[in-house]
Amino acid sequence: MRFTLFPILALAGSSTAAQLILSTYNGSVTSLSLEETAGRLELTELKKVRDCGGSPSWLELDPQSKTLLCIDEAWSTPMGAITSYKVGAAGEMTKLKNATNNLSGVTSHIFGKGKAVAVSNFGGAPAANLSGSITTFTLNSADGDLKLLENVTLTMDNPTAPTGETAGRQNVTRAHQVITDPTGQFLVVVDFGADKIRWFGMDANNHFRSNGSVTLDRNTGPRHGIFWSPDKTYTPTSKLFYFVVSELKNTITSFAVTYVDGGMKFEKKGVISTFGPDPTPKTAAASEIQLSPDNKFIVVANRLDGIWRIQNPDPTNSTLIVSDSLSTFMPKDDGSLTFFQNVPAGGENPRHFSINKKGDRVAVALQANARVVILEREIACGSIKGALASMKTDTLPNMVIWNEE
Ligand SMILES: *[C@@H]1O[C@H](CO)[C@@H](O)[C@H](O)[C@H]1NC(C)=O
Ligand SMILES: *[C@@H]1O[C@H](CO)[C@@H](O)[C@H](O)[C@H]1NC(C)=O
Ligand SMILES: *[C@@H]1O[C@H](CO)[C@@H](O)[C@H](O)[C@H]1NC(C)=O
Ligand SMILES: *[C@@H]1O[C@H](CO)[C@@H](O)[C@H](O)[C@H]1NC(C)=O
Ligand SMILES: *[C@@H]1O[C@H](CO)[C@@H](O)[C@H](O)[C@H]1NC(C)=O
Ligand SMILES: *[C@@H]1O[C@H](CO)[C@@H](O)[C@H](O)[C@H]1NC(C)=O
Ligand SMILES: *[C@@H]1O[C@H](CO)[C@@H](O)[C@H](O)[C@H]1NC(C)=O
Ligand SMILES: *[C@@H]1O[C@H](CO)[C@@H](O)[C@H](O)[C@H]1NC(C)=O
């Protein structure tokens, strides 16, 4: 257990107002304002909607058109949904269109020059034998219209029996995340159940076909991945790497990525603990991985590690609270990661966090505390500090994104 003063920080220097959007498994999507009041930053609710299904699990905002997509994971309905909104200047979310999705949608990614969106579906409860799948929709950026394009169930092609506690969770495929590669030619899917990274080629009509996969050690439980090039902007001559964080082993696995004969090739380079040199707490379950806007740091969220005790967000309460952690790493141009620091996430179960465009704020959704916190981040050295602001939310907040230009 580690203690820190975790100061509730006063503001240094000037700061302009910002907006964020938060989803909760309570069924709400809320726009937030982060504004300076009397030398302190304050988070307040702007608008709230409750009409993108019972279990909103993922938000994606097109910063140009201000089209917001909301995925319903559908915990208690037979099918899920994808819903589009237009976000107004005062945080209003005007519902545009929706479409039925499979159950268990957990991430989305707009692709095909903004004309399509892919959703990764995690699959059902262990006893249900419902495999993970990818569903794609056409997206009309003018009116938010969404139409089913196709869906593909992932097939378990490495049926090694999973062992221990992961048996029920890993005996079917589970699409935990879908993104595009930096060339925009491939959809890259993290399969938590099969311990695989799979990629799919796309044709001119955004139809996709399996193109290859790479397998991690059994029981790794990969969750979310990012591409990284030492050249901030990828070009065909750039080196390219892919880092995937795993929820079960609490590791980051790095791959060198090349394009061979029109397809992709992933070559495993190394594995590092999300806790760097420190031991991995038994209960830990890493969640999110993000790149800093200056391309120099990679941050991961460690859920349920409970390793910190920090100042209570209620200033009148002197009882310290439990906090999980965020770890920061520095990627090197050989694809290795150097551990930099482990700091409090601001509370428990940080299912998701977002770094703002400038790189000086980290918003964290703390699922177990029903709280969102804004942490200060030093851009140049990459150090994440104490909380600048925090706010109670509806129960089970699961994602928070910045609404910036
Ligand atoms: C789409 O929105 C309508 C109107 O709000 C709602 O009645 C319907 O259930 C939604 N469909 C899905 C699949 O969520
Ligand atoms: C594909 O998915 C949609 C919604 O996600 C579903 O309604 C439809 O039945 C599925 N189609 C097939 C062929 O499985
Ligand atoms: C997966 O594991 C769960 C829980 O142990 C079990 O109920 C289910 O039948 C298994 N499914 C398959 C396809 O093995
Ligand atoms: C799931 O698969 C297992 C193993 O094949 C089987 O025993 C079980 O009956 C299946 N359950 C359902 C709900 O289909
Ligand atoms: C999900 O989509 C697949 C097609 O990829 C379909 O076979 C399956 O029945 C769907 N499951 C549900 C619950 O809609
Ligand atoms: C992957 O896609 C490329 C480009 O379309 C193609 O040349 C190659 O044959 C594909 N490989 C597989 C295994 O589908
Ligand atoms: C003070 O904070 C602790 C830890 O969160 C909590 O259990 C306790 O109820 C709080 N006390 C008061 C008076 O709010
Ligand atoms: C959760 O949602 C319900 C409505 O579905 C609402 O009545 C309740 O106040 C919410 N609870 C919290 C703590 O957000």
- Each residue of 190-218: pLDDT tens digit? 999 999 999 999 988 899 999 999 999 98
Ligand 2 neighbour 55 (Cβ under 6 A): no
Distance in Å, CA 126 to ligand 4 centroid: 10
Distance in Å, CA 76 to ligand 8 centroid: 15
Question: For 339, how many CA atoms within 13 A lie in the half-sphere containing its CB?
Answer: 15
Burial of residue 178 (CB within 10 Å: 0-12, 13-18, 19+) is buried
Distance in Å, CA 285 to ligand 3 centroid: 22
- Each residue of 277-335: pLDDT tens digit? 999 999 999 999 999 999 999 999 999 999 999 999 998 999 999 999 999 999 999 99
Which residue's CA is the closest to the ligand 4 atom numbered 10?
129
User: If you average pLDDT over residues 273-278, what whole number do you get?
Assistant: 97
The whole-angstrom separation of Cα 223 and Cα 43 is 30
Task: Dump the DSSP string for 319-354.
Answer: --EEE-EEEEEEE-TTS-EEEEEEEE-SSS-EEEEE
User: If you average pLDDT over residues 265-270, what whole number do you get?
Assistant: 97
Ligand 1 neighbour 54 (Cβ under 6 A): no
- Each residue of 153-184: pLDDT tens digit? 999 987 666 766 677 789 899 999 999 999 99
Which residue's CA is the closest to the ligand 6 atom numbered 5?
262
Ligand 5 neighbour 102 (Cβ under 6 A): yes
Cα dihedral 52, 116, 287, 356 sign: negative
pLDDT at 58 over 60: yes
Question: For 97, how many CA atoms within 13 A lie in the half-sphere containing its CB?
Answer: 16
Which residue's CA is the closest to the ligand 2 atom numbered 9?
102
Burial of residue 261 (CB within 10 Å: 0-12, 13-18, 19+) is exposed
**Helical ranges in 128-207 per DSSP H:** none
Helix (H/G/I), strand (E/B), else coil: 164: helix
